Amino acid sequence: MKTVLVAAAVFGMLTGAAFSQAPNFDDPEEFAKQREQLTATFNGPADQMYLQYAGDAMVDTAAFKKEAPWTVCFSNAGVNNPWRVVGYTNMTEEVKLHPEIGTFTHVDAEGSDDKQIADIDDLLAGGNCDALIVSPNSTAALTPAVEKACAAGLPVIVFDRGVTTDCPVTFVHPVGGYGFGIQAAEHIIANVPAGGKVLMLRILPGVDVLETRASGARNMFKEVGLEVLGEEFTDGDNAKTKSIVEDYLQRGTIDAVWMDAGATAVAAVEAFEDQGVDIPVVTGEDQQDYLQKWRDLGFKGIAPTYPSYQWRTAIIAAVQTLKGEQVPGPEWVLPQPAITQDVLDQYINEKMPPLHYAMCGCEDMPTYPNAWGGTE
Amino acid sequence: MSAQSLPQAPTQRRLPRINPVYVLVAALIIAIVVMNPAFGEPTGYMNYLKRVAALAILSAGALYVIVSGGFDLSVGSIMTLTVIGSSMLASNDPNSTYWIIPLMLGIGAVVGLINGLVVSYLKVPSLIATLGMMISLNGVAFMWSGGAPRGYLPDTFRFFGRYNITDIPLITLLPIAVICLVGFGLLLWWGMHRTNFGRMLHAVGDNPQAARLAGVPVERVRISAFVVSALTAVLAGVILGGRAGVSVDIGSGFELQAITAAVIGGAQLLGGRGSVPATIAGALALEAIFTLLNLLGLAQPVRLVVQGLILIGAVALATYQRKRAGQ
């Protein structure tokens, strides 16, 4: 019996990364739209990016106006990675800024579609929510649950990953995955001569926001004639990332490393560092450890972001809705800036934890930096 | 254990019996060198050994529990706890390493002791006891860190997993991790194959009833096995954290890899049989498979399939050989 159990477990380990049937993650129209939005001017206060929005479409929410205090409910896909930890902190701190929110109810789906669907059902059945914020675990699975909440008459705010219904008041999100891929790829194209070799490192296949990052970049490399050495999946694991880069280095030179997310960027940089090889262009994301490595070693880095300030925006949208104010919608598209060499220093803060995402838009909050694990 | 007692007529036609894991490792390494001659250079093979050090030490320690007839699923979470705990405590102070590593070893010893006590006295099957421990420790690490790393590991800590001694004649460079691998490998080999404790471990795993009747302190032996396993998990955590830096799930999956390495090395899952050098070779084989498939440039899904098949094949071969030899 033991043998069978372990054999099953060992086999499970080896087949763990399942394939998934990809919907269209290579949409030229969406690609072009996001490319344009990256450089567009956004409405709203210049120094508060979490309040900015693309376009002028607004949604009238007078029907949802309600007397305070409110109960705001939040169905969260999970707090299972450092980006979501920072985002969730942004959110809870934002809640503290709104005395009208009497109760903030958070339910964590721990990365499971089924649990999140059940969570939303429970929240609806409880009947206490005045507004529902949803950060969907996956798009298709959560759409019916969101529709059900809309049908119950609740104002629903969706953010981060989307759903395929337009019944929510608004869908808060930054420019998007293509945009992220474009920013990283443009930087590589600008710094690597034609015919250069690019290694693409990805976390895992099948996640829409990550697939679009990769497909956007892949197309651009092909266009300008950069050779993609390979697309490797790291599972977000530092040790694996380092091994993969070391192996590729043994087989030849690498002119650039493109990453679909920055959590293991430092491990990729270290692979070059430990081999005593010059560090090529390595793209990352806005977390502190990468930004500091980039500054200290002086390689050609760039940090596209998927700003975690959208977690603040979701609360702000809920508050505006319950006040009956106009809300940018049906999509509230937030700016998605990349951190470049010129502005690098202003995003570095050595007192913050290594995986603190610098584009948190949280510096202006009274509890910064302690609530994010930083020290004054 | 029992082969020596039966006098066997030496058969000259038979090849000397070699554990198939050594053949597997040799074959994989030859394949890698053929595919990529740079692997034959010191930077190539030293990198590979450096990479495998954590898993090899971990597997050799986990083997103690396997030989005693149990499983230790908590080792991966001990590695995670070691890395997270160390990064939290270090707060960027390079001098902290000197007390943090002993402290982590202390925590590891306590965890191993609890595992052993629960298994020996509460009679909870080790699979469940250590599964529970794994879940709890992951929870502790998560609570401690709040879900995201809160600090770096200082360079003095990362020394063991990351740094190379350079300018050595013949091999040019020698990673500290490889020195650790050899040192702890020898120590674990000695404990398993050259001490009375090692013999008692085998006896307990083979037949606990018989061992008890023969005067072996079964409980104490089992508990010691869990403590050894937990301590090597801390060492593996220090080396892996040193190599790769902090991440919140750094040790996840290592418990199964360690068991896999032991099984490839011919260890019997129900206890009573296992070899430290062969287990280390099992770890080398696992990493070599990963490197080779990477070199072949196969797509990820194909790679997983091949990796699984090689594993099943290796273990099936080992079992078949043993059966034929009548053991």
Model pLDDT for residues A73-86, shown as the tens digit of each residue: 999 999 888 899 99
**What percentage of chain A has pLDDT greater than the value 90?**
73
User: How many Å apart are CA A3 and CA B315, to the nearest integer?
Assistant: 12
Interface contacts A/B by beta carbons within 8 Å? 115
Query: Are B301 and A2 inside 8 Å of each other by CB?
Result: no
Q: What is the pLDDT of residues A70-123, one digit of tens each?
A: 999 999 999 888 899 999 999 999 999 999 999 999 999 988 999 999 999 999
Q: What is the pLDDT of residues A49-63, one digit of tens each?
A: 999 999 999 999 999
pLDDT for A69 beyond 60: yes
Give the pLDDT of residue B308: 82
- For the residues B200-217, what does the mean pLDDT come to? 94
User: How many Å apart are CA A90 and CA A334, to the nearest integer?
Assistant: 16
Please name the member of B39, B152, B244 whose beta carbon is closest to the beta carbon of A238: B244
User: How many Å apart are CA A52 and CA A317, to the nearest integer?
Assistant: 12
As a whole number, the mean pLDDT across chain A is 90
Helix (H) or strand (E) holding B304: helix B300-324
pLDDT for B72 beyond 70: yes
Pairing assessment for the beta strands B172-175 and B164-168 based on DSSP bridges: antiparallel
Give the pLDDT of residue A285: 96
User: How many Å apart are CA B226 and CA A161, to the nearest integer?
Assistant: 44
As a whole number, the mean pLDDT across chain B is 89
What's the pLDDT band for B327 if we cut at 50, 70, 90? Answer: low
Q: Buried b / exposed e across B38-48, counting CB within 10 Å, b at 16+?
A: ebeeebbbbbb
Q: Which of B240, B264, B287, B300 has the most A C-beta neighbours within 10 Å, making it the best mutation to test the interface with A?
A: B300
What's the pLDDT band for B326 if we cut at 50, 70, 90? Answer: low
pLDDT for B214 beyond 90: yes
Do the beta carbons of residue B49 and residue B178 sit within 8 Å? yes
Task: Tell me whether residue B26 is exposed, middle or buried, using C-beta atoms within 10 angstroms of its C-beta: 0 to 12, 13 to 18, 19 or more.
Answer: middle
- For the residues A143-154, what does the mean pLDDT come to? 95
Q: What is the pLDDT of residues B12-60, one digit of tens each?
A: 555 567 888 899 999 999 999 998 888 888 888 998 999 999 999 999 9
Domains and CATH numbers, chain A: 57-175+307-329 (3.40.50.2300), 177-302 (3.40.50.2300)
pLDDT for B1 beyond 70: no
Closest of A364, A305, A363, A362 to residue A334, by C-alpha: A305
pLDDT for A185 beyond 80: yes
Task: Tell me whether residue A346 is exposed, middle or buried, using C-beta atoms within 10 angstroms of its C-beta: 0 to 12, 13 to 18, 19 or more.
Answer: exposed
Q: Higher confidence at residue A326 or residue B316?
A: A326
pLDDT for A1 beyond 90: no
Contacts of A353 in chain B (CB under 8 A): 148-151
Contacts of A267 in chain B (CB under 8 A): 244-245
- For the residues A216-236, what does the mean pLDDT come to? 91
Give the pLDDT of residue B284: 96
Give the pLDDT of residue A289: 92
Distance between B13 CA and the closest CA of chain A, angstroms: 34
Distance between B151 CA and the closest CA of chain A, angstroms: 6
What's the pLDDT band for A17 if we cut at 50, 70, 90? Answer: very low
- For the residues A180-199, what does the mean pLDDT come to? 94
Give the pLDDT of residue B310: 79
Contacts of B295 in chain A (CB under 8 A): 247, 251
Task: Quote the DSSP letter at residue B271.
Answer: S
Q: What is the pLDDT of residues A197-211, one digit of tens each?
A: 999 999 887 777 888
Stretch 200-229 of chain A: residues touching chain B, C-beta under 8 Å: 205
The pair of three-digit structure tokens given for residue A214, joined into one six-digit string = 């990769």
Pairing assessment for the beta strands A256-259 and A227-233 based on DSSP bridges: unpaired
- For the residues B95-100, what does the mean pLDDT come to? 92
Residues pairing with B165 in the sheet: B174
pLDDT for A8 beyond 50: no
Contacts of B51 in chain A (CB under 8 A): 239, 243, 246
Distances B239 to A376, B109, B154, B215, B234 between C-alpha atoms, Å: 32, 18, 13, 38, 9
The full 3-state SS of chain A, as one line of letters, equals CHHHHHHHHHHHHHCCCCCCCCCCCCCHHHHHHHHHHHHCCCECCCCCHHHCECCCCEECCHHHCCCCCEEEEEEECCCCCHHHHHHHHHHHHHHHCCCCEEEEEEEECCCCHHHHHHHHHHHHHHCCCCEEEEECCCHHHHHHHHHHHHHCCCCEEEECCCCCCCCCCEEEEECCHHHHHHHHHHHHHHHCCCCCEEEEEECCCCCHHHHHHHHHHHHHHHHHCCEEEEEEECCCCHHHHHHHHHHHHHHCCCCEEEECCCCCHHHHHHHHHHHCCCCCEEECCCEHHHHHHHHHHCCCEEECCCCCCHHHHHHHHHHHHHCCCCEECCEEEECCCCECHHHHHHHCCCCCCCCCECCCCCCCCCCCCHHHCCCC
Give the pLDDT of residue A23: 58
What's the pLDDT band for A191 if we cut at 50, 70, 90? Answer: very high
Give the pLDDT of residue B151: 81
Torsion of CA A25, A28, A33, A35, to 10 degrees: 90
Helix (H) or strand (E) holding B166: strand B164-168
What's the pLDDT band for B268 if we cut at 50, 70, 90? Answer: confident
Distances B107 to B28, B99, B113 between C-alpha atoms, Å: 37, 12, 10
A354 in B contact zone (CB under 8 Å): yes
- For the residues A151-159, what does the mean pLDDT come to? 95
Give the pLDDT of residue A7: 44
Contacts of B260 in chain A (CB under 8 A): 10, 13
Cis peptide bond upstream of A369, omega within 30: yes
- For the residues B142-159, what does the mean pLDDT come to? 86
Q: What are phi and psi of B219, to 5 degrees?
A: -60, -50
The pair of three-digit structure tokens given for residue A320, joined into one six-digit string = 């505006």
